[in-house]
Amino acid sequence: MQTFVLAGGCFWCLDAVYRTLRGVSDVVSGYTGGTVANPSYELVCTGTTNHAEAVAVTFDETEIPASVILDAFFTLHDPRQLNRQGADVGTQYRSAMFYADDEQKKLFEEAIERANEIWGGGVVTQLEPLGEFYRAEEYHQDFFAKNPGQGYCLAVALPKVNKVRKAFGEYVRAA
């Protein structure tokens, strides 16, 4: 099992996407990359903690390659947007990859290179060492499944889920 910590806008979207993929055993929404211990959602939303909304994605490489996890990350968000994703603006919505060791750093660097080719350059995804990861409040965990009719889920998360399902269909969980 391997765990990647990734940030690409609102963690609800990343959580929703990764839960659809076969081989992913756990997705935890949380905060990392900041300077405040045990931050709350409200505090992170102020943009003053330097934390990013992120997910810790745990997966089995015998079922889904690490490259698919990373390429799905670069499919579900626009890595050319600095400190934002669409209408979500602030450093907490930055595109970032938090590596736990040199092996992950190398995998992440290779994924950024692939993303630059796909997106035609301009990828601003930050590569940062993984520090403390703080689990977000319980209501943020599996938010999309718990709130399928919520406006943000319908307008923002669902199109991202569908985009990844289409691009990585062979790795989508059976319904």
Catalytically active residues, by annotation = 10
| Residue 135 · residue 129 · CB < 8 Å | no
CB atoms < 10 A from the CB of 92, how many? 29
The residues facing 10 across adjacent strands are none
* Of residues 142, 131, 62, 138, the one with CA closest to residue 96: 131
Sorted by sequence, the CB contacts under 8 Å of residue 56 that are 6+ apart come out as 3, 4, 5, 26, 27, 28, 30, 133
